[in-house]
Structure 1
Amino acid sequence: MAKPMTMSQKILAYHAGKEYVEPGDLIFANVDLVLGNDVTTPVAIKEFEKIGIDRVFDKDKIAIVPDHFTPNKDIKSAQQCKMVREFAKKYEITNYFEVGEMGIEHALLPEKGLVVPGDLVIGADSHTCTYGALGSFSTGIGSTDMACAMATGKCWFKVPEAIKFVLYGKKTGWTSGKDIILHIIGMIGVDGALYKSMEYTGEGLKSLSMDDRFTIANMAIEAGAKNGIFEVDEKTIEYVKQHSTKPYTIFKADEDAEYSEVFEIDISKIRPTVAFPHLPENTKTIDEITEKIYIDQVVIGSCTNGRIEDLRIAAKILKGRKVKKGLRCIIFPATQNIYKQALKEGLIEIFIDAGCVVSTPTCGPCLGGHMGILADGEKALATTNRNFVGRMGHPNSEVYLSSPAIAAASAVLGYIGSPEELGMKGDEEQ
């Protein structure tokens, strides 16, 4: 009789050619996709060249997306992108996305249909865990591992323990996937899931859109997790059918699978949540913020919250309103397609009329790379995923994290607040 396994265990076992794996096992597994960006790929290229081979394992199973410091912010970033561009050309990498067709990697790859349920994906970027929203095992790795994987199509893994999150109830008001994951990180801490798999299930998934799920999976690493993964349901299948022709496999956790912890969470009770400096676990609900925190900059976008639903919510709040005088509001759609959709729906015009600046898809503002760097003493509210010391600029600046709804309302108010303060009531039940 087969031993029970979690979703992550099953995917890892399948790709390692084993019937069963258990937490702590060291395995060597075949990967379905290897990802790199303009920061991590140059290091991987140097290591790849040391191996001394003249081919990659599969030109269709490598994706390279220059998105962190692009469009090139300086000479150094231009040199890095040139190295990546030449490597992609030399080895005929199918999924190389240059500026003009690129997007933020973790929004672009699902949109392009490059990840489907059951895949094993590695990426030289910590937020590769985003694709767990599709029922895949995806995790960040180092540039050396990326180099070896580009050469061999394999990577080593230590099988993680899993934490089960049973979600029930329905989102209410202005609550979004961002608020749910900030609530969870606030509850368990930034090391609460250290090297573990965060596995999501329960009837509450019906209330979560795919954009919500991408956001929640994206921030698994902010709880220290190896990966985040959602049980595949009708919404997942619908998304995959719209975006991909790749065959897929659904791996469902066994009912008697073992978890290190199980949390049951009523998402109808979760209120919009803000993470205060300098850790994502330092959370307060919007109702618990008793003083006015005035801000200098609002950033809406990133691999966490730059998808079309996020932009629609922001536009709904900004329509007919103005960004507070003296405050900068930067909006960056996560991909070119999302940008085009926002144009078609009139969202970009709403943003510009409100006094926002709209950027090409880039990671720049999120990591203090370019386009929105903070000065000494400045405060920013961002829909990004990290608020460490100096994350968006000067070490004496501060970053607060929130959902697009809270960010957009705060851009108008000039301080961290909610759409309710603008007289906008969220739907009681979404």
Structure 2
Amino acid sequence: MPTWTEYILYKKLGKTPSPGDVVEIVPDLVGFHDLTGYHVLEVLESMGKVEVFDRERVVVAFDHLSPPPNQRAAEIMVYIRRHVKALGLPNFYDVGGGILHQIILEKYALPGQVIFAADSHTNTAGAVGAFAHGMGATDIAAALKLGKTWIVVPAPFRIDVVGEFPIGVMGKDVALHLLGQFGAEGFNGYSVEVFVETPKAFPMDDRATVANMSTEMGADALMFIPDVITAEYLKTERGVDYTPPRIEPGNYADKYTVELPRLEPLVAAPYSVDNIKSVREVEGVEVDQVFIGSCTNGRLSDIAVAAKILKGRRVKSRCIAIPASYEIFRRAMKLGYIDVLTEAGCVVTYGTCGPCLGGHFGVAGPGEVVVTTSNRNFKGRVGHPDAKIYLANPAVAAATAAEGKIADPRPYLRG
């Protein structure tokens, strides 16, 4: 039987390629945002005419520097808007719509699709079983104009997830665990396929986090094999009826098992995504700023756990919370989470990457310590190169904000 990667490529190509083969492929969806869109459109202009192969298959979102924090960012948005209007692109999300990867996941991505976008965290759509891969602006421009591009077929790698999450452990900890085991770029050249033994024990929000951070692992793609959770998500969120195909284990280059009950809350300490430590090892480190959000952990369950921990408390360090899309923000408002966070002293907005890339809305200063739920902790990632960045799940982040120092969330969640 085929692997999921082989299943997708066979449907696209009519044949099963081998790892290492170079194949031309027609994407189901192509995307870009404000930070990369300028370069994508520049390349298209240099080709003589700005045109796209299929307007319905293009998604554009303003997220990285949104709302524009400076004149240059505003100029770029004006430039992109002009082209979006001229091309008649229907799937355009202006300021406040949401982060591109979240929009693709909640509105477009389907199991078995092939998705390319001009951003490295395009992998996020693998949560529903799409082969989603980030590319550079030039590659995306070519794909938009020609309606096809080429990829080197990756080798399939199988991960089995067994058991259930212990208290205080989330999808972010699975991603950090894998980074600790395999290292940054450890899955370079692989398409990672995740089989969940007990589907209901691993919700879609957590799947999206793991798929998102597979970029840090170097994976060409990371896909959760579609199951009942996939079908329920598509039905609930989109009204799409979907029956997962029966996929038996195929031939994998290697495999690994994640035992959820053995995990605990983890952090990635400065300055590498694979500098993994238990939260207990860094507990007590004083923190200047906490960020809960990004395309990694700005989903409803992330906001919910932060609200649960911060309810009735006041933050002791600056705390910024940014739901990843307008839809998530509206749901969080209706459920009372936004009131809880603002009453706790958090600054809340929505639909922007914010401080994740050090763009705006919470840039770190010299010597500051930041705990963030985003995906990278390199020098200068959230602002000043002297700032120290720790990656953590939203429960750790919220507990840290409550104490003003890195804290274990489990006592808060048991109460």
**Cα pair 2:199 2:228 within 8 Å, conserved:** no
**2:190 is the alignment partner of 1:196:** yes
**2:74 is the alignment partner of 1:78:** yes
Q: For residue 247 of structure 1, report the CA deviation from its aligned partner.
A: 8.1
3-state SS of paired residue (1:362): coil
CA RMSD of aligned residues (A): 1.6
Q: For residue 373 of structure 1, report the CA deviation from its aligned partner.
A: 0.7
Alignment CA distance shift 1:311-1:262 (3 Å): same
**Cα pair 1:10 1:251 within 8 Å, conserved:** no
Q: For residue 348 of structure 1, report the CA deviation from its aligned partner.
A: 1.0
Alignment CA distance shift 1:318-1:293 (3 Å): same
**Cα pair 1:117 1:249 within 8 Å, conserved:** no
**2:326 is the alignment partner of 1:336:** yes
Alignment CA distance shift 1:385-1:182 (3 Å): same
**2:59 is the alignment partner of 1:59:** no
Q: For residue 254 of structure 1, report the CA deviation from its aligned partner.
A: 4.3
Match of 1:352 in 2: 342
Q: Which amino acid aligns with 1:425?
A: R
Q: For residue 421 of structure 1, report the CA deviation from its aligned partner.
A: 4.6
Q: For residue 11 of structure 1, report the CA deviation from its aligned partner.
A: 1.2
% identity of equivalent residues: 40
3-state SS of paired residue (1:338): helix
Q: Which amino acid aligns with 1:224?
A: G
Q: For residue 5 of structure 1, report the CA deviation from its aligned partner.
A: 3.1
Q: For residue 52 of structure 1, report the CA deviation from its aligned partner.
A: 2.6
**Cα pair 2:297 2:374 within 8 Å, conserved:** yes
**Cα pair 1:116 1:248 within 8 Å, conserved:** no
Determine the C-alpha separation between the residues in 2 that align with 1:393 and 1:135. 34
- Residue correspondence of structure 1 range 308-347 to structure 2 within 5 A: 308-324=300-316, 327-347=317-337
3-state SS of paired residue (1:223): coil
3-state SS of paired residue (2:124): helix
Determine the C-alpha separation between the residues in 2 that align with 1:298 and 1:388. 16
Match of 1:122 in 2: 116
Q: Deviations over 1:362-416 (max 9, x none)?
A: 0121000001111111010000011011100111111100011000000011111
3-state SS of paired residue (1:221): coil
Of 209, 219, 227 in structure 1, the residue corresponding to residue 213 of structure 2 is 219
Of 96, 103, 110 in structure 2, the residue corresponding to residue 108 of structure 1 is 103
Unpaired runs of 5+ in structure 1?
none
**2:147 is the alignment partner of 1:150:** no
Q: For residue 53 of structure 1, report the CA deviation from its aligned partner.
A: 3.9
**Cα pair 1:133 1:229 within 8 Å, conserved:** yes
Q: For residue 209 of structure 1, report the CA deviation from its aligned partner.
A: 0.5
Of 164, 173, 197 in structure 1, the residue corresponding to residue 167 of structure 2 is 173
Match of 2:4 in 1: 7
**2:409 is the alignment partner of 1:415:** no
Alignment CA distance shift 1:251-1:19 (3 Å): farther
**2:363 is the alignment partner of 1:370:** no
**Cα pair 1:321 1:354 within 8 Å, conserved:** yes
Match of 1:243 in 2: 237
Alignment CA distance shift 1:402-1:212 (3 Å): same
- Alignment: residue pair count: 415
Match of 2:91 in 1: 95
Q: For residue 94 of structure 1, report the CA deviation from its aligned partner.
A: 1.0
Unpaired runs of 5+ in structure 2?
none
- Residue correspondence of structure 1 range 389-400 to structure 2 within 5 A: 389-400=379-390
Q: Which amino acid aligns with 2:5?
A: S
Q: For residue 172 of structure 1, report the CA deviation from its aligned partner.
A: 1.1
Q: Give the TM-score normalised by structure 1.
A: 0.93
Match of 1:425 in 2: 414
Alignment CA distance shift 1:235-1:388 (3 Å): same
Q: Deviations over 1:213-268 (max 9, x none)?
A: 0001000011111111001011101111233367878566542x222221012111
**2:372 is the alignment partner of 1:382:** yes
